[in-house]
Chains A and B, each alone.
Chain A
Amino acid sequence: DTAVSQTPKYLVTQMGNDKSIKCEQNLGHDTMYWYKQDSKKFLKIMFSYNNKELIINETVPNRFSPKSPDKAHLNLHINSLELGDSAVYFCASSPTGADTGELFFGEGSRLTVL
């Protein structure tokens, strides 16, 4: 059983399109994240949800909209895709409270915008 799973793992699309990436975790964690890894491998936090509530929203264009239907799922929808959106998007989860602080990552979704 994959602990944090993302779909799709690869996505190629045209500029201007809208696309979604889904994430699910079966670890029972309360907190989920989206990170963007650019071509230089730099990892930047985008959003964080705790038990379906948005708690971190970094400076991300409004074209990016996360949605958490329940605490096990965190989806990312991107409108009007631009070339600069090409990256690997990682979903992650972590427990809260007295925990180790460790992030558990999905395998990443590579988005290519043409």
Chain B
Amino acid sequence: AQTVTQSQPEMSVQEAETVTLSCTYDTSESDYYLFWYKQPPSRQMILVIRQEAYKQQNATENRFSVNFQKAAKSFSLKISDSQLGDAAMYFCALKTSYDKVIFGPGTSLSVIP
């Protein structure tokens, strides 16, 4: 069975600082995708960044980057130069075969002005 774990229910960061959100996962498959989604108070789910398991290079999207450690089954998200608009719930997600996407329990990120 596939699982996704986020061990930090809540995190806070000072505006302009850097924060890292943790995610670990478990799957027996070799081919899969990993994602970070953001859910602001508006409740819309927004894709932040994706990583294909076969790619060794860590994905980056502007201020967002990941540290993908395939052997350790770890997929952390780093947010640089944090902004007030980054305050949201962040969900780590795993997609394996059969189009099934499962989500971690989420990390609530607060940004302190």
Q: Which residues of A contact B103 (CB under 8 A)?
A: 35, 42-44
Residues in B neighbouring A102, C-beta threshold 8 A:
35, 47, 50
With A41-B89, A42-B105, A45-B100 given, is the CB distance from A101 to B43 under 8 Å? no
Task: Judge if B19 is at the interface, Cβ distance under 8 Å.
Answer: no
Q: What residues on A are CB-neighbors of B45 within 8 Å?
A: 90, 92, 103, 105, 108
Q: In the complex, A89→B98 CA distance in Å? A: 21
Q: How many residues of A contact B (CB 8 A)?
A: 25
Residues on the B chain within 8 Å of A56, using CB: 98-100
Distance (whole angstroms) from the CB of A21 to the closest CB of chain B: 15
- A-B interface pairs (CB < 8 A), number: 57
Residues 73-106 of chain A, each 1 if its beta carbon lies under 8 Å from chain B, else 0: 0000000000000001010101010001111010
| Choice from A88, A96, A101 contacting B101 with Cβ under 8 Å | A101
Closest Cβ of chain A: how far from B95's Cβ, in Å? Answer: 4
Which residues of chain A are near B37, meaning CB under 8 Å? 103
Question: At the interface, yes or no: B102 with Cβ under 8 Å from chain A?
Answer: yes
Which range holds the interface residue count of chain B? 20 to 34
Given A44, A100, A108, which contacts B50 in the complex, CB threshold below 8 Å?
A100
Residues of B within 8 A of A101 (CB): 33, 35, 50, 52, 95, 101
Residue A31 at the B interface, CB < 8 A? yes
Provide 15 A-B residue pairs closer than 8 Å at the C-beta atoms, listed in order of the A residue.
A41-B39, A41-B106, A42-B103, A45-B101, A55-B99, A56-B99, A56-B100, A100-B33, A100-B50, A101-B33, A101-B101, A102-B50, A103-B37, A103-B93, A108-B45
Beyond A40-B105, A102-B50, A103-B37: 15 further Cβ-contacts under 8 Å? A35-B103, A41-B105, A42-B105, A42-B106, A48-B100, A55-B98, A56-B99, A88-B43, A94-B99, A103-B101, A105-B44, A107-B43, A107-B44, A108-B44, A108-B45
Taking Cβ atoms with an 8 Å cutoff, the residues of A that contact B are 31, 33, 35, 40-45, 48, 50, 55-56, 88, 90, 92, 94, 96, 100-103, 105, 107-108
